[in-house]
A = this chain, B = another copy of it.
Amino acid sequence: MAHAGFATTPKPPYYAVIFTAQRTEEDRGYEAMAERMVSLALAQPGCLGAESARGADGLGITVSYWTDLSAIAAWKADAQHLVAQQLGKTRWYDHYELRIARVERAYSGPEGR
């Protein structure tokens, strides 16, 4: 069953890209670009889904899920994504951490609801 806001991922192993970022006050075009990048990522070969949350303090976490490292590398090198990455660095993010991880186990719950 699909749950709004959650990625429906297969049995592990697969990969996660964990992107934690603190936004600047600067907003020029951010929302539109963020939405476009999520749509574009989800349409990439090998993308399994994404989950995203941002608090009122501007700290956000987006986790995207991928079949393998080569799919992640192809998305990183996508031309439109490169433009967004550059604007993120110069305009939208005070700080970010990006981690690439291999998902080994997964659980969901609560059971029986």
Interface 9-mer from A25-33, A34-42, A104-112:
A104-112
* A106 near B110: Cβ-Cβ < 8 Å: no
In this complex, how many residues of chain A approach chain B with their Cβ under 8 Å: the count is: 46
Can you report 24 A-B residue pairs in the complex whose CB atoms are below 8 A from each other? A3-B94, A9-B97, A9-B99, A16-B101, A18-B18, A18-B63, A18-B103, A53-B59, A53-B60, A53-B61, A54-B55, A89-B109, A90-B110, A93-B109, A93-B110, A95-B108, A95-B113, A96-B110, A97-B108, A98-B106, A99-B105, A101-B103, A101-B104, A102-B102
Interfacial residues, chain A to chain B (CB-CB below 8 A): 3-7, 9, 12, 15-16, 18, 20, 22, 51-57, 59-61, 63, 88-90, 93-111, 113
